[in-house]
Amino acid sequence: MGVEYTEEQIERTLTDLGATVEKTIAAQPGPDGGAAGTVFTVTSPSWRSDLEIREDLVEEIGRLVGYDEIPSTVPVAPPGRGLTRSQADRRRVLQGLADAGLTEVLAYPFVSAAQNRFFGSATAEEGEAQRMVHLANPISAEFGYLRTSLLPGLLEIARRNHSRGFRDLALYESGSVFLPGEQLGSASIPPLGARPADEVLADLGAGIPDQPRHVAAVFTGHDSVAGPGHAPRAWDWQDAIGTALDVGALLGVELAVTQGHHQAFHPGRTARLSLAGGDGTVVGVAGELLPTWLETADLPARTVAMELDLDALIAAAAGVVVAQTLSTFPPTSQDVALVVPADTVAAEVLATLREGAGELLEDIALFDVYAGPGVPEGQKSLAFSLRFRAPDRTLTADEASGARSAATALAAERHGAVQR
């Protein structure tokens, strides 16, 4: 009990219980390992059928003498390192999405084969074969597979809320998806009673599917509630892409946005998200969901979504983010409009302009896309805003114009761009 009770306390307490107590002196340790000294032989009273073993008697002594006599000993907490880097990064992303006004939800990881085939994996390349994990004992025959995407569960939650009158939704979830390899868990379960051989364990491990953690978001309806003098804005594909870029910014990872394709998304309103620079690893997809599917799923038209491989983003994040030096010299802004073929990807032109402008370019943004009178048929006009700044001096207009000319010249060489 953690208390050194006297022999008188022990004998008096057990006697008060109605037990018969006999004391003997044992010079040697008993057969049960007890220490040498006084031995109490106790016969419990007939009305206490709960006193069967020696520990029952010890508990009664502690109870009757008083639990308050037992000292409180606070264990010393072992030293810890706090959250790991990946744990801290995940919490930063989840808190950032909540701070942006999204609501976190939790969906079941069980889906149908059709849902897995339709939504696939956010990082799968076009035409890649879809593998999935089949459950041996599913809770429902309809949903007998583990998810390869977070979107089926998120959209089901959105559909259920929408059917109950909640029309303006911004939902997000983070969780594991299950992407099996070639083996698909084909190893047999070893028998019990002995440790399996290393090769058996390796075979079992090879059959465990890859389980990266993803983060996804779904938007339906409007971004706010209508009110006097205020017309709410409908969510669109730019919100889905912007949320994905925000996730990257929270981790200090720059994402490249290019035209993409996904069977669950609207053709022409789908963005492929990849790591900027390096090998351009695809880490997600964003855009407007397929209208025909939305109609059959009883979801609003123009529902938008995004999904990212959160583990891949965390792995690409720098351990230390170095803050850039702020220049105290004024910037110089110039615009340029380029006419390019209609099928040219604006993000590729923007990247070319950034490369051609050189070190003086501080920021560049696409602010207009136009096709109509004044632009030849089969072509479009892309208007960009460029901001130049030098860290050590005030730029002249000629220096800024020279940098812009170098950028447009490179765009003309690579994309056939003509300045409008």
* pLDDT band with cut points at 50, 70 and 90 for residue 206: confident
Look at residue 356 and tell me whether its pLDDT is greater than 90: yes
CATH 3.30.56.10 residue window(s) in the chain: 7-69
Look at residue 406 and tell me whether its pLDDT is greater than 80: yes
CATH 3.30.70.380 residue window(s) in the chain: 332-419
Position 176: which residue type?
A: S
User: Residue 297: what pLDDT?
Assistant: 92
Look at residue 389 and tell me whether its pLDDT is greater than 70: yes
* pLDDT band with cut points at 50, 70 and 90 for residue 111: very high
What is the greatest pairwise CA distance in the chain?
114
Q: In b/e form, how buried is each residue of 165-189, taking b as 16+ CB within 10 angstroms?
A: eeebbbbbbbbbbbbbeeeeeebee
Query: Residue 219 in contact with residue 230, Cβ under 8 Å?
Result: no
- Phi first, then psi, for residue 335 (nearest 5°) are -110, 155
User: Residue 183: what pLDDT?
Assistant: 63
* pLDDT band with cut points at 50, 70 and 90 for residue 368: very high
User: Residue 123: what pLDDT?
Assistant: 66
Give dist(CA 189, CA 167) in Å, integer: 48
Check whether domain 332-419 has CATH 3.30.420.10, yes or no: no
Which parts of 259-299 fold into alpha helices (H)? 291-296
Average pLDDT, the chain: 89
Structure tokens at 420: 């409008």
Look at residue 148 and tell me whether its pLDDT is greater than 60: yes
User: Residue 275: what pLDDT?
Assistant: 92
Q: Which of 73-77, 126-130, 219-223 has the lowest mean pLDDT?
A: 126-130
Identify the DSSP state of 79: P
Question: What is the chain's length?
Answer: 420
Look at residue 359 and tell me whether its pLDDT is greater than 70: yes
pLDDT in tens, 16-34: 888 888 888 876 665 555 5
Give dist(CA 356, CA 160) in Å, integer: 50
221 beta partners: none
User: Residue 36: what pLDDT?
Assistant: 61
User: Residue 259: what pLDDT?
Assistant: 86
CATH 3.30.930.10 residue window(s) in the chain: 85-184+199-316
pLDDT in tens, 279-333: 778 999 999 999 999 999 999 999 999 999 999 999 999 877 777 788 889 999 9
| Fold that domain 7-69 belongs to in CATH | Phenylalanyl-tRNA Synthetase; Chain B, domain 1 (3.30.56)
User: Residue 71: what pLDDT?
Assistant: 84
User: Residue 313: what pLDDT?
Assistant: 95
User: Residue 239: what pLDDT?
Assistant: 95
Check whether domain 85-184+199-316 has CATH 3.30.930.10, yes or no: yes
Look at residue 124 and tell me whether its pLDDT is greater than 90: no
* pLDDT band with cut points at 50, 70 and 90 for residue 348: confident
Give me the percent of the chain exceeding a pLDDT of 70: 94
pLDDT in tens, 182-201: 766 666 788 888 888 898 88
Query: Residue 294 in contact with residue 300, Cβ under 8 Å?
Result: yes
Query: Residue 303 in contact with residue 328, Cβ under 8 Å?
Result: no
Structure tokens at 10: 């022990």
